[in-house]
Chains A and B, each alone.
Chain A
């Protein structure tokens, strides 16, 4: 990507107005945005209350898994209507006749959603910080018999690495949902496809395969390899840097940055695919950019 196209997509992209539209939708508490905001707000409030009340007993992992779980729902919730919904409402043509390219439309919608994910990640730092303080207080009490704060048992670097891993995973889910929204004619289909893919890949598959790893030593490595990019598995390894449990297992160093890199690449892949395979309405072939001069 040269500097001109980078600028067209991320700096001088008129579709970045979606950022303001996104904020207006979710912060002004109107219509469908209200449901998502209230849902997230309620869960966040409960989580915050819980970690404050039981600060000594709640591990940082609880907050991180909660964030991961929320990301699995929030990304599809905010993006499934991004393109399919425009088609359903018959507003899609208005964007297509505007002087913007396919890539600008997709990237504008994606960046708008990413700000929501970043906001979520920032908000989750508060309960995470509380659990880290509670953990260090517990460590002091158990070790020295007096209250105070010291270095948490879960390393700060590993915790922040897990936060980054979750954020990049959530951003990848945004790109994936946008891709499904571009492919599907109906927004509910896009929502179903996104949630289905998440459930199958990150819940059903590990639930079915990981117990097999306990019983079968030969399969253990391969099952771990298949779940290498599962964020729930990766986060557990990042937070618990134990040496290998068995000979030949995937080393702990393979959890963290490799997953982050994979999620970033997958994000780029989904976005490129979404841009390339956007389905135009009513079996019409769309030609943004024209056959001779593609935009």
Chain B
């Protein structure tokens, strides 16, 4: 279990991370969302024991990042946003080097290397030189390096940046699989659709403050005060809009085009059904009437102001 207890980081007079608190369980895939400069990387680097927190601490399965950094390091796999690979080494040599550093026993190393290569779909590249790999493959190799010692926590800082759509989809699938394997995965990104698909928990950070934390659905529900309905009416959409404005549970109506209306609605589901019945009963030819589900992007835009440190 990962417990982050009031982590803060100051750079001179600037507070880059301010009292960040959250807890994650094995199997959680946590999407860490924030604009550039919001404090995601600083938080991740503190959890990776690369940066000393100004205040607060964090513990992973009982190992504190300040009191027992070596214990934490044995349990984490860290993939920075920008990273390099050694030149002139083969893929298996690269993994063997890090497996040795992480004290993986010599007899187990070949199997461990084969396993992580298979998991990251790089088995065919075992004998290739790392500099000949594509960007996507290098990203997967870096992830394979993070996995050689079977960590319980994976810290992935912008893992999909610079990847083409196919490589991005493969990486998403791989991260989801790691979550299913019972690992805690923290993935930071500012590309929200990238995270929405496979994260079961998200945190939104701005100017170092964690504005929201929890399961995706819960956060969406918390943030969404009114439901958004979209109706498509074949003709007299304007008249329908005037009529809807008179309904008490309708906050506002905005035409999207000649036929479509966007309705901000505060009522219950029963009232929503009554609204549709009323439109039809009044003679409007409704061909589509549906609730638009708020997504992470809406939540993010609603919670954040775009300000950076």
| A24 partner, pick from B67, B76, B89, B100, beta carbons under 8 A | B89
Q: What sequence of 0s and 1s flags, for each residue 166-177 of chain A, a beta carbon within 8 Å of any chain B beta carbon?
A: 000000000000
Query: 18 new A-B pairs (CB below 8 Å) besides A99-B101, A287-B51?
Result: A14-B100, A15-B101, A21-B89, A31-B88, A88-B84, A89-B85, A89-B86, A90-B84, A91-B84, A93-B83, A94-B78, A97-B50, A97-B78, A99-B103, A100-B101, A291-B66, A293-B67, A295-B69
Taking a contact as CB atoms under 8 Å apart, the answer to whether A89 and B103 are in contact is no
Contacts of B213 in A (CB 8 A): none
Q: What sequence of 0s and 1s flags, for each residue 232-255 of chain A, a beta carbon within 8 Å of any chain B beta carbon?
A: 000000000000000000000000
Taking a contact as CB atoms under 8 Å apart, the answer to whether B101 and A293 are in contact is no
Nearest CB on B from A94, distance (A): 7
Contacts of A284 in B (CB 8 A): 45, 50-51
A94 in contact with B145 given A25-B88, A291-B66 (CB within 8 Å):
yes
Nearest CB on A from B288, distance (A): 51
Taking a contact as CB atoms under 8 Å apart, the answer to whether B50 and A21 are in contact is no
Nearest CB on A from B101, distance (A): 5
A295 in contact with B70 given A14-B102, A90-B84, A91-B85 (CB within 8 Å):
yes
Determine if B68 is an interface residue (Cβ-Cβ < 8 Å): yes
Determine if B114 is an interface residue (Cβ-Cβ < 8 Å): no
Residue of A nearest to B69 (CB): A290
Query: Which residues between 103 and 124 of chain A lie within 8 Å of chain B, taking CB atoms?
Result: none
Interface residues on A, range: 20 to 34
Nearest CB on B from A105, distance (A): 9
Q: What sequence of 0s and 1s flags, for each residue 79-116 of chain B, a beta carbon within 8 Å of any chain A beta carbon?
A: 01011111111000100011011110000000000000
A14 in contact with B82 given A94-B145, A288-B69 (CB within 8 Å):
no
List residues of B whose CB falls within 8 A of some A CB.
45, 48-52, 65-70, 73-74, 76, 78, 80, 82-89, 93, 97-98, 100-103, 145
How many Å lie between the Cα of A32 and that of B89 in the bound state? 12
Residue of B nearest to A14 (CB): B101
Residue of B nearest to A15 (CB): B101
How many Å lie between the Cα of A290 and that of B65 in the bound state? 8
Contacts of A286 in B (CB 8 A): 50
Taking a contact as CB atoms under 8 Å apart, the answer to whether A97 and B83 are in contact is no
| B52 partner, pick from A31, A33, A93, A287, beta carbons under 8 A | A287
Determine if A30 is an interface residue (Cβ-Cβ < 8 Å): yes
How many Å lie between the Cα of A90 and that of B82 in the bound state? 7
A285 in contact with B66 given A15-B101, A17-B100 (CB within 8 Å):
no
How many Å lie between the Cα of A288 and that of B87 in the bound state? 26
Nearest CB on B from A172, distance (A): 27
Taking a contact as CB atoms under 8 Å apart, the answer to whether A291 and B85 are in contact is no
Contacts of A24 in B (CB 8 A): 89, 93
Taking a contact as CB atoms under 8 Å apart, the answer to whether B73 and A33 are in contact is no
Determine if A192 is an interface residue (Cβ-Cβ < 8 Å): no
Taking a contact as CB atoms under 8 Å apart, the answer to whether B74 and A99 are in contact is yes
Nearest CB on B from A8, distance (A): 11
Query: Which residues between 254 and 290 of chain A lie within 8 Å of chain B, taking CB atoms?
Result: 284-290
Contacts of B82 in A (CB 8 A): 90
Determine if A292 is an interface residue (Cβ-Cβ < 8 Å): yes
How many Å lie between the Cα of A285 and that of B50 in the bound state? 8
List residues of A whose CB falls within 8 A of some B CB.
14-15, 17, 20-21, 24-25, 30-33, 88-91, 93-100, 284-293, 295
Taking a contact as CB atoms under 8 Å apart, the answer to whether A97 and B73 are in contact is yes
Nearest CB on B from A121, distance (A): 26
21 A-B residue pairs with CB within 8 Å: A14-B100, A14-B102, A17-B101, A30-B88, A31-B88, A32-B88, A89-B85, A95-B101, A96-B50, A97-B48, A97-B50, A97-B76, A98-B73, A98-B98, A99-B70, A285-B51, A286-B50, A287-B49, A290-B65, A291-B52, A295-B69
Nearest CB on B from A37, distance (A): 12
Contacts of A99 in B (CB 8 A): 70, 73-74, 101-103
Contacts of B50 in A (CB 8 A): 93, 96-97, 284, 286
Contacts of A14 in B (CB 8 A): 100-103
Taking a contact as CB atoms under 8 Å apart, the answer to whether A290 and B97 are in contact is no
| B66 partner, pick from A95, A97, A292, beta carbons under 8 A | A292
Contacts of B102 in A (CB 8 A): 14, 98-99
How many Å lie between the Cα of A291 and that of B66 in the bound state? 7
Taking a contact as CB atoms under 8 Å apart, the answer to whether A89 and B51 are in contact is no
Residue of B nearest to A95 (CB): B101
Nearest CB on B from A89, distance (A): 4
Taking a contact as CB atoms under 8 Å apart, the answer to whether B69 and A17 are in contact is no
Taking a contact as CB atoms under 8 Å apart, the answer to whether A293 and B88 are in contact is no
Nearest CB on A from B21, distance (A): 20
Taking a contact as CB atoms under 8 Å apart, the answer to whether A97 and B49 are in contact is yes
Taking a contact as CB atoms under 8 Å apart, the answer to whether B84 and A290 are in contact is no
A17 in contact with B66 given A284-B51, A286-B50 (CB within 8 Å):
no
Task: Pick the 7 closest A-B CB pairs, nearest first.
Answer: A31-B88, A89-B84, A17-B100, A90-B84, A30-B88, A99-B73, A287-B52
How many Å lie between the Cα of A99 and that of B104 in the bound state? 12
Residue of A nearest to B81 (CB): A90
Nearest CB on B from A24, distance (A): 7
Contacts of A97 in B (CB 8 A): 48-50, 73, 76, 78
Taking a contact as CB atoms under 8 Å apart, the answer to whether A287 and B69 are in contact is yes
Taking a contact as CB atoms under 8 Å apart, the answer to whether B67 and A290 are in contact is yes
How many Å lie between the Cα of A205 and that of B148 in the bound state? 51
Residue of B nearest to A28 (CB): B88
How many Å lie between the Cα of A137 and that of B224 in the bound state? 98
Residue of B nearest to A98 (CB): B101
Nearest CB on B from A202, distance (A): 31
